Amino acid sequence: MSTVTDTRPVVLREASLTICGRREGKTRACNSCLRKADAAVRMATEPSLNTALLPRLADVICGSAGHPCPACWEKATTLLLELRA
């Protein structure tokens, strides 16, 4: 019970759904995407990481070693728009 405006859990849930893939009736992402969302949100809200943020985000989401696939590029773009809105 707290009146503090802690939006982080909400942000995290939304981000994880974006990463996992949104679907009608789907309310939570899988554990793997939850972990990715945690890393991605931390990255995206870190002001010092403005340069090359998108490729890094895509990489975290894809779990690739520097070569994210097109689908994850798209997710990273969506995520960034959501987080920086």
Q: Are 39 and 20 in contact (CB under 8 A)?
A: no
The window from 5-13, 33-41, 43-51, 77-85 that contacts Zn ion (CB under 5 A) reads 33-41
**Torsion on CA atoms 68, 50, 18, 62, rounded to nearest 10:** 20
Please name the residues in contact with 76: beta carbons below 8 A apart, sequence gap of 6 or more. Answer: 40, 54, 55, 57, 58, 61, 68
The window from 5-13, 23-31, 49-57, 77-85 that contacts Zn ion (CB under 5 A) reads 23-31
Closer CB to Zn ion, 23 or 84, in the complex: 23
Report the residue from 17, 20, 43, 60 that binds Zn ion according to the rule CB under 5 A. Answer: 20
CB of 84 to Zn ion, least distance (A): 21
